[in-house]
Amino acid sequence: MLTCKDFISELTDYLDERTDADLRTKLEKHMAECPNCWVVCDTTRKTISVYKDHEKACCIPSDVQTRLLLAFEKMRAAKTKVV
């Protein structure tokens, strides 16, 4: 079973469709059961699409990715107690 931390760490790969089918299924299953991760995924997806529209780039620079992940971690930590 995937934890929220696993989900977050795989999220950018998932959104870039770089995960294998097995992992993808697990991530989707986690999202279906975890509203928090669904929100994080949805927000990240939108952020990425805005970024891509702006830059027409195929990937997010790692510093942006790190900042995004940190922001989401903080947001999540403020709202939920991670088990």
Residues in contact with Zn ion by the rule CB under 5 A: 4, 34, 37
Q: Shortest approach of Zn ion to residue 68 CB, angstroms?
A: 17
Select 6 or 59, whichever has its Cβ closest to Zn ion. 6
C-alpha–C-alpha distance, residues 58 and 72, integer Å: 22
C-alpha–C-alpha distance, residues 57 and 83, integer Å: 36
Q: Shortest approach of Zn ion to residue 82 CB, angstroms?
A: 9
C-alpha–C-alpha distance, residues 34 and 29, integer Å: 9
Q: Shortest approach of Zn ion to residue 34 CB, angstroms?
A: 3
Select 32 or 70, whichever has its Cβ closest to Zn ion. 32
Select 7 or 60, whichever has its Cβ closest to Zn ion. 7
Q: Is 20 exposed, middle or buried (0-12, 13-18, 19+ CB in 10 A)?
A: exposed
